[in-house]
Chain A
Amino acid sequence: MIRVEHLVKRYGANVAVDDVSFSVAKGDVVGFLGPNGAGKSTTLRILAGFLGMTAGKVTIAGHDVALDSFAARSAVGYMPEAVPLYPEMRVVEYLAFRAELKRVARGERRARVDDAMAKARVDDVATTSIGRLSKGYRQRVGLADALVANPPILILDEPTAGLDPNQIREVRAVLRALGGDHTILLSTHILSEVEATCGRVVVIAKGKLLADGATADLRGMRRTAGLAITVRGDPAQAARVLRAVPGIARVQVAAVAGGAPAKRDEAPAAKGGDGGHAGDLSVATCTWKKKIGDDAIARAAEKAVGSLVLEGLFVREAKAIGGSLEDVFAELTRGAPPDEAGADADEGADDGADRAGAPRGGAEA
């Protein structure tokens, strides 16, 4: 349904999109992933027919966007990143206007508008002026706008930006329900979003295509790096026990200040764990040996927790480190393994990508 071939977009000397090719099959839900400034929005704007490309070819539902823009635009429901709406209009007026603009037949308009409002869950604000809506509602009005003509293809630029966690879950559920009937390409810099909604992912950074594959494949690109175990008891003993577990290369134990559960990110920073006494909490960060398989990792994890318990220590929590899409992403954009800790927060992933030097691409000198 969407085919992008060697797409290039330059703004003067600045290359925003550099030779990107990918395609989206009918019914797929594809995540278009990249840090801020990677060229996601530019690419989507070209796909939606808002911007022209410098070179390359984009085909939407069989129509070349440069040569047959009108037919291509008719097949797409596009939600721009900023979700621009006319503040003086009421939600239902706006959607009726958009439906007419997108050539929904007069008799169907009412039903299409109601359907789009129901799907995007904005029916409760139907008669509110858009200017008075919260960011979350505006975002969903944008989604309703994309849906209103029931287009075969949806192109959504960061559809969950600015939503609260409940709304994000709702929007993801809507997107999952729409997949199958609709072909969806959605951009995001939040990796968990891709894991939650998309079957496939296209990764882009600094305008270059980095990866393109099934979400499961991408996750498979990287095994977990280790295990963070929150232990109550003598930290030194915990370290000793864990070092004896086969498969564990390194153990760092850090006391948790005030007995509060530590965030994983902070664990390596608060290094030490010498002065602890029984009853204190500490986080033991274990790193797997290199070149051991998934099975060995699983057994080592079982053994690590088991040994601690056998030695009379109390295990509160055990979390796998790494292995999420964030780590894959960080690795792809940086060309180096990610930090052992952290990188699970979205911001962490962004920072990682911003720090990146040259992305690991073929043509880099």
Chain B
Amino acid sequence: MRSFWPIYKRELFAFFVTPLAWVLIFVFLVVQGMHFYLLVDHFASQAEVAGDQTPLQSFFGNTVLLYIVLFLLVPPMTMRLFAEERRSGTIEALMTAPVSSAAVVLAKYAAALTTYVAMWAPTLLYLVILKRTGVVDWNAAAASYLGVLLIGAGYLALGLLMSALTSSQFLALVGTALVLLALFILGVGEFVTPTGTTLHAICAHVSVWAQMNDFASGVVDSRRIVYDLSLVALPLYVATRVVDAWRWG
């Protein structure tokens, strides 16, 4: 695991020295800022119809706004992790150094996750803004950010796996987007399948939509956390095996 640190540093370097990370963060903040503005404006002008909803709750749950940014940003963040190295051949230099496959996978993943966190960090300012004009439910806010972190972590792990499966960044991008979309649609299945059936139970269990609605209103269910963590662990494990398998291809 000693090779984790240099690879992690290099990945972060690669993210931030190329325009990609900055473009993604810029787009993310513009889109999120717009969402925030629209929500605050909406709640300010229609306070009576909002009921017990808050702008913060809508920012993280009950709307598709969160998923739009996740679908837009996670695939381009993870597409290059392995695909670029395999296409350019640098994977050969990397894997012939004394490194373990697990360290390579974890370091790349950690770098992507760090970038993701860095992306979200400026949105904490929205809380400050909200607090100046009203009341912020800090527990709900903390739960929301936990949810965003957990879901993002799972999405990034899936993206990393897709990047390990192909040497084409474009295919990794499309593959990741499709998998994320499929997961989302499966979650929405909760609302269209009859209550009580197995399919309904599965859909309810994997639903990011339901999860973020819960988390945004401050309800943290440990089953959700276990599911999210398994969505991190399983793709990372498979990715490690995939990296091992290149040797024997």
Contact = CB atoms under 8 A, between A and B. Distances in A.
Chains A and B are bound partners: yes
Interface of A: 45, 48-52, 70-71, 73-74, 76, 78, 80, 82, 84-86, 88-89, 93, 97-98, 100-103, 145
13 contacts: A76-B96, A80-B92, A82-B89, A85-B93, A86-B14, A88-B13, A89-B10, A97-B9, A101-B3, A101-B97, A101-B98, A101-B99, A103-B98
Contacts of A102: 97-98
A84 B98 contact: no
Contacts of A85: 90, 93
Contacts of A71: 98
A86 B100 contact: no
B18 A80 contact: no
Contacts of B88: 84
Interface centre among A78, A84, A93 (most CB of B within 10 A): A84
A51 B98 contact: no
B90 A48 contact: no
Contact of A86 (B6, B10, B98, B248): B10
Contact of B93 (A76, A84, A100, A103): A84
A315 B9 CA distance: 67
Given A73-B98, A93-B13, A101-B99, 9 more contacts: A48-B96, A50-B92, A51-B249, A73-B96, A73-B97, A76-B96, A82-B89, A84-B92, A98-B93
Interface string B83-114: 00000111111111111100000000000000
A52 to B, nearest CB: 4
Contacts, number: 69
B248 A84 contact: no
B234 to A, nearest CB: 25
B191 interface: no
A101 B98 CA distance: 7
B37 interface: no
Nearest to A98: B97
B247 A86 contact: no
Contact of A88 (B18, B94, B96, B100): B18
B2 interface: yes
A103 B9 CA distance: 15
Contacts of B14: 86, 88
Indicate the member of B92, B96, B99 with the most A CB atoms within 10 Å: B96
A130 to B, nearest CB: 10
Contact of A51 (B90, B97, B100, B247): B247
B131 to A, nearest CB: 40
Interface string B1-38: 01101110110011001100000000000000000000
Given A82-B92, A84-B88, A85-B93, A70 B98 contact: yes
Contacts of B7: 101
Contacts of A73: 96-98
A100 B96 contact: no
B96 A49 contact: yes
Interface string B124-140: 00000000000000000
Contacts of B90: 84-86
Nearest to A76: B96
Contacts of A145: 93
Among all A-B residue pairs, the 6 with the closest Cβ atoms:
A84-B89, A100-B6, A84-B90, A52-B248, A74-B98, A52-B247
Most chain A beta-carbon contacts within 10 A, residue among B3, B92, B249: B92
A82 B89 CA distance: 7
A341 B95 CA distance: 45
A70 B247 contact: no
Contact of B95 (A49, A88, A97): A49
A82 B91 CA distance: 11
